[in-house]
Amino acid sequence: MKYSFFVKTGIITGVLIFIVLAAGVYVRDYNEKKSIRSINAVIERVVDGDTVVLDSGEKVRLLGINAPELHHPDYPVQKYGQEAKDYLKNRVEGKKCRLEYSILDQYDKYNRLLALIYLDGALINGELVKKGLAFATPNKYISKTREFLVIENIAKKFKLGLWETEEGGQAKK
């Protein structure tokens, strides 16, 4: 009799915990979707592996990634920086893309729009990480960017691009 009481209590407790966690995920996703905006724009020019300029003249920083530097005042040109730029240029320059951004974290300190870039259903930000041409840097307002960490780990495992060496192809400071 006692055993079945504890089993039933355990099952009920487990179900309640599951319901609370599922409700939390649902509320988080619902709130995130309310804060995300989407626009269509032509990518006029690629600046580097994580920055583009739209045909409107607005600069866009690819959200959730950090490509090796090409033009940073404090860093030399970093390994795979040119490859990241070339890949991005070949992939999106002159093409109409869909951009998604959060109204909660719309611009970076350089006044660039922080966005995910989609072309023909493919998430370009994730492609750069997958090919080892950018590091994952998740954003707390768009949960999709957390997936980039998983993609980055796969690129590391297969020693792609930046991950041909343990430190990500960049000299340590």
Q: Is the pLDDT of residue 173 over 50?
A: no
User: Is residue 139 within 8 Å of 114, Cβ to Cβ?
Assistant: yes
Token reading at 79: 């390994």
- The predicted-structure confidence for 51-71, as pLDDT tens digits, reads as follows 999 999 999 999 999 999 987
pLDDT band at 171, cuts 50/70/90?
A: very low
- The predicted-structure confidence for 3-23, as pLDDT tens digits, reads as follows 687 777 888 888 888 887 777
Q: Give the pLDDT score at 86.
A: 98
Place of tokens 């192809």: 169
Give the residue numbers annotated as catalytic, written as ranges.
Answer: 61, 69, 112
Q: Is the pLDDT of residue 114 over 70?
A: yes
Reduced DSSP (H G I as helix, E B as strand, rest coil) percent helix, strand, coil of the chain, to 5: 40, 25, 35
User: Is residue 169 within 8 Å of 80, Cβ to Cβ?
Assistant: yes
CATH architecture of the domain 37-164 equals: Beta Barrel (2.40)
Q: Is the pLDDT of residue 39 over 50?
A: yes
Per-domain residue ranges for the chain? Answer: 37-164
